Amino acid sequence: MNQNDFPRFVLEARSHIKSAWSGIHKIPWNEPGFSRRMLAEHLSQEHDLASRRQKTIDRHVDFIHAEILHGVPSHISDLGCGPGFYMQRLMRLGHRCCGIDFSPASVAYARNLLQCDSASVIEADLLEADFGTGYDLVMLLFGEFNTFTPAEGRLLLNKAVAALAPGGILLLEASRRTALKRADGGNPSWLAAEHGLFSDSPYICLQENRWFEDENAFRSDFFVLQSDGTAQHYASAAQAYSDEEYAGLLLDCGLAEAHFYGDYGKDNPDSDFVVLSGRKEKHTGKPAV
């Protein structure tokens, strides 16, 4: 592309964005280049953008082990497991784990990290993957649930519940509406980088954040101009829910109760995330009351 065409490229792409979920709405974390560059962000101890820093994950895992699983050795499914940091710690505490993620670099890293019989990692898209059965705990953490459309989110929850053994627990860490709404910076921003998430070579990225009040959803658009003259449009959307809606989602997919745990047991009203669980009934597939 001639760089003079970039403004037209941006204007044209913008003209099609009518909804938070218009067209592309997720960064392709499964594409090899993105996956490799994202893994570097997962491993970074400078920020909590892709995975949390190790100390925070230690705290979360201690909470899951003690308060959710009561120290009982369990069979755990980690949906969107990334590089496997939660599974690594849970395995050390005596649990068996299976992770699913569609990022090839993260899956390769996790397989290397977890080399042992009590863990496995499947490279697959959660929307299509077979989640298996018989799990004591299925977890979907760090707000990834919100990056799926409402229909996809319901599909994932139903698949997760079907993968639970009777009495098993679904643990969801989802984004708070206030946090998603706050991310609507208003003004567009730009970035010039030697290399970064969008390329190994120099690029310029224009970013526009928007909150869609009628859809209760947030969306960021990224318009990238590469040093070779190519341009790309990426986007990332997130659906917001209230606490009542989260609880309702768990009950609707047949779980018998919804418990909220603040910030993994810590009272932290400013947290960007809400942690909640639901239990699958022991006896029948009877819906919750």
Task: By CB under 6 A, name the binding residues for ligand SAM.
Answer: 29, 50-51, 80-82, 85, 101-103, 106, 125-127, 141-142, 144
CB-wise, 10 or 98, nearer to ligand SAM? 98
CB-wise, 225 or 276, nearer to ligand SAM? 276
CB-wise, 53 or 282, nearer to ligand SAM? 53
Helices 85-92, 54-63: axis angle to 10 degrees equals: 50
Q: Cβ 7 to ligand SAM, closest distance in Å?
A: 32
Return the structure tokens found at 130.
């077979």
| Strands ordered across the beta sheet of 231-239 | 189-193, 203-212, 217-226, 231-239
CB-wise, 10 or 135, nearer to ligand SAM? 135
In the chain, helix, strand, coil percent, each to 5? 30, 30, 40
Strands 231-239, 273-280: pairing kind:
unpaired
> Helices then strands (H, E): number in the chain?
8, 11
Q: Cβ 11 to ligand SAM, closest distance in Å?
A: 29
Q: Cβ 97 to ligand SAM, closest distance in Å?
A: 12
Place of tokens 């201690």: 62
Q: Cβ 61 to ligand SAM, closest distance in Å?
A: 11
CB-wise, 35 or 231, nearer to ligand SAM? 35
Q: What are phi and psi of 95, to 5 degrees?
A: -95, 155
CB-wise, 30 or 199, nearer to ligand SAM? 30
10 Å CB burial of residue 113 (0-12, 13-18, 19+) is middle
Helices 104-113, 32-43: axis angle to 10 degrees equals: 50
| Beta bridge partners of residue 239, listed in sequence order | 217
Q: Cβ 41 to ligand SAM, closest distance in Å?
A: 9
CB-wise, 156 or 249, nearer to ligand SAM? 156
Measured CA to CA, the distance from residue 74 to residue 5 in angstroms comes to 56
Query: For residue 81, which of 31, 114, 121, 130 has the smallest C-alpha distance?
Result: 121
Q: Cβ 122 to ligand SAM, closest distance in Å?
A: 9
Q: Cβ 18 to ligand SAM, closest distance in Å?
A: 23
